[in-house]
Structure 1
């Protein structure tokens, strides 16, 4: 197929997927999952709506072939909310193509990855079934990745697993063998409400929160000194602050949220202890009441940087684009942790597109880069499925 023809097929499929709104929250993946199953059926491939972990939010699993090795291509179909649509130049669900880029929520994160996985499997299916490739290939369209739900984990547990995995997040086709962990902490600072005309009668939770914010700033400076050769620095970033119920009421509580990005050598229970010790000291020094809760956790994950599997993807990426083949880790958190940590499967994060576009207004994907990604994926997959990867 010509490059132009391949780009056209990608544009059509990504456009169809983007036009199906799958925002999470609340978790509107059903119509997209049904579309994917129908698409596979039209291409002669059996795919299943997997109604776990939630019966009302099905995800998709498919398997072609029964031989080894087995390669799993993973993508998630949920997207973050589009936000204020007035801030978009293009309809976030219009899939408008302009200047060789397709615009829309989820175009980069990560419906392009899902689309090239679908197209790759459709092309490889004939070769697998004709015994031209001895291996087999598995497809995931997972739910709930944006909110750390067990979509990919459940698909792996339901038998849609393999020897190798590729999580097709946008990395500009750099091959990531490690990723940071992520933990969100919600900190509640208590006060005592009163009418604002009598502020001294109460205790202002916003004022109580100030020494907590100061301590968190110091904590962030401390953890930034922790570095990893592939992943860079650790971070502790204040991302949300909520307080107050009415203009004339002294607030009785303030809620601070921090986003803690941690390195593979950091343990989550040790981070819990750091947070607890920090807040206990602030509470004692300032005589205020503070509580905290870790609300979400994405574990860090890593495989060997010199993995032969990773090297296959480095090599095929460099064949089609100017892509660094140096060892690399991704700063974001992806479902690759479910492969490595939960299923003990060698896996990478790899895919076309620029992750800096994720979650932004006017999110878009370069269709030529997506076509290069499909070419590299097909080349790498054929090598893997032929059994040419050293264990």
Structure 2
């Protein structure tokens, strides 16, 4: 099988008009139809992932191509001007999907190789699809808008709530109680200094810990018995969600007044948090794709990705993030913004880059 007859731009022009912010069924049907029309069997698992594969079932090398079909709200209608496709999902991530499909259709896996296309339905919310994926790859390419750079690392994102427990009392006699809101002062100081003694990651820099929401108190004339503070954590390797929770709770217990109870719990969710990941930039996966991008006309720089991504679910296997489009440009936000767009040249360059790289990694491909 080759990519004869598959045009990534024609696919993108069909995909972007399909709203997939509230429901991905129509977009998934389009994806399955596209795969089957090019002679590839496609399956949809119980979590809604669309899966297709080529090559031997017990490979020496198994490359997985992954991205997502859901988008954020609201849906932004498709529009095209010279050289540019506008609309929700054009760069995040239907443009990357179009390029990945071009590579998937083009590659003819070597006798000991396999390529799997694994497209998830829920990346923008809870990553229920990626969490349920049963694909054991040796290396992964995740499609996201990277400006044709090869991204080898990304920070993780955790969220949780600090609960301070005091003792209610009349505000006229404040010393008869224990003021949970007043305890915020040392707790916030401890949050600001939480990473002071931690080394920065060589690629991702420093982790961040940011208070984002606070509430407490029941009555204006009462010493508050409880206060809750939500924090946002952008992590770097090797920190895990569990390790962060334990470390922060211990630090805040030490900082808070003895008479105030401290509890910190990560926000409940049905899937693991997107944790930080880092792939060695010297891996063949990285160097091959970066070279292919440069040869095709892209930047092909090797750098971190600036947003959390489902790529973390595939680490510690070698994983990179790559695709056409930008999260933001000189004018401001692109992905998730009303002005979301991707250039046609970038999509074609990404497709050529991926066809070349996938061919070199696991087989032979026809490259236009």
TM-score range, shorter chain: 0.7 to 0.9
Residue in structure 1 matched with residue 331 of structure 2 by the alignment: none
Residue in structure 1 matched with residue 69 of structure 2 by the alignment: 77
Residue in structure 2 matched with residue 262 of structure 1 by the alignment: 235
Shift of 1:324: 4.5
Shift of 1:139: 0.7
1:142 to 84, 109, 120: 120
1:350 to 309, 319, 322: 322
How has the CA–CA distance of structure 1 residues 203 and 362 changed in structure 2, closer, same or farther, with 3 Å as cutoff? farther
Q: Secondary structure at the match of 2:71?
A: coil
How has the CA–CA distance of structure 1 residues 213 and 381 changed in structure 2, closer, same or farther, with 3 Å as cutoff? same
Contact 2:77–2:88, Cα closer than 8 Å, also in 1: no
Correspondences of 1:290-309 after superposition (within 5 Å) = 290-295=262-267, 297-309=273-285
Contact 1:190–1:208, Cα closer than 8 Å, also in 2: no
Residue in structure 2 matched with residue 165 of structure 1 by the alignment: 140
Shift of 1:11: 3.7
Residue in structure 1 matched with residue 19 of structure 2 by the alignment: 20
In 2, distance between residues paired with 1:64 and 1:46?
9
Residues 14-58 of structure 1: CA deviation (Å, up to 9, x unaligned): 424xx22234xxxx3333223311222222211011113xxxxx2
Correspondences of 1:40-189 after superposition (within 5 Å) = 40-52=35-47, 58-66=48-56, 68=59, 69-82=61-74, 92-98=75-81, 100-124=83-107, 127=108, 135-155=113-133, 157=134, 160-189=135-164
The farther-off stretch of 41-50 and 308-317 is 41-50
2:315 to 340, 344, 348: 340
1:378 to 355, 360, 365: 355
Shift of 1:213: 3.4
How has the CA–CA distance of structure 1 residues 104 and 194 changed in structure 2, closer, same or farther, with 3 Å as cutoff? farther
Contact 2:211–2:229, Cα closer than 8 Å, also in 1: yes
Contact 1:65–1:135, Cα closer than 8 Å, also in 2: yes
The answer as to 2:28 corresponding to 1:36 is: no
Residue in structure 2 matched with residue 367 of structure 1 by the alignment: 344
Shift of 1:137: 2.2
In 2, distance between residues paired with 1:34 and 1:202?
61
In 2, distance between residues paired with 1:284 and 1:207?
10
Contact 2:52–2:117, Cα closer than 8 Å, also in 1: yes
Residue in structure 2 matched with residue 234 of structure 1 by the alignment: 207
How has the CA–CA distance of structure 1 residues 154 and 7 changed in structure 2, closer, same or farther, with 3 Å as cutoff? closer
In 2, distance between residues paired with 1:103 and 1:205?
50
Shift of 1:259: 1.8
Shift of 1:99: 5.5
Q: Secondary structure at the match of 1:233?
A: coil
Contact 2:20–2:69, Cα closer than 8 Å, also in 1: no
Shift of 1:244: 7.6
Shift of 1:375: 1.3
In 1, distance between residues paired with 2:217 and 2:21?
32
Contact 1:48–1:62, Cα closer than 8 Å, also in 2: yes
How has the CA–CA distance of structure 1 residues 251 and 63 changed in structure 2, closer, same or farther, with 3 Å as cutoff? farther
Gaps of 5+ in 1: 53-57, 83-91
Residues 145-198 of structure 1: CA deviation (Å, up to 9, x unaligned): 23443422432x2xx4433210112221222233323322222345788999x9
How has the CA–CA distance of structure 1 residues 202 and 337 changed in structure 2, closer, same or farther, with 3 Å as cutoff? same
Q: TM-score, normalised by structure 2?
A: 0.79
Contact 2:12–2:90, Cα closer than 8 Å, also in 1: no
RMSD over aligned Cα atoms? 3.6
Shift of 1:74: 0.2
How has the CA–CA distance of structure 1 residues 267 and 118 changed in structure 2, closer, same or farther, with 3 Å as cutoff? closer
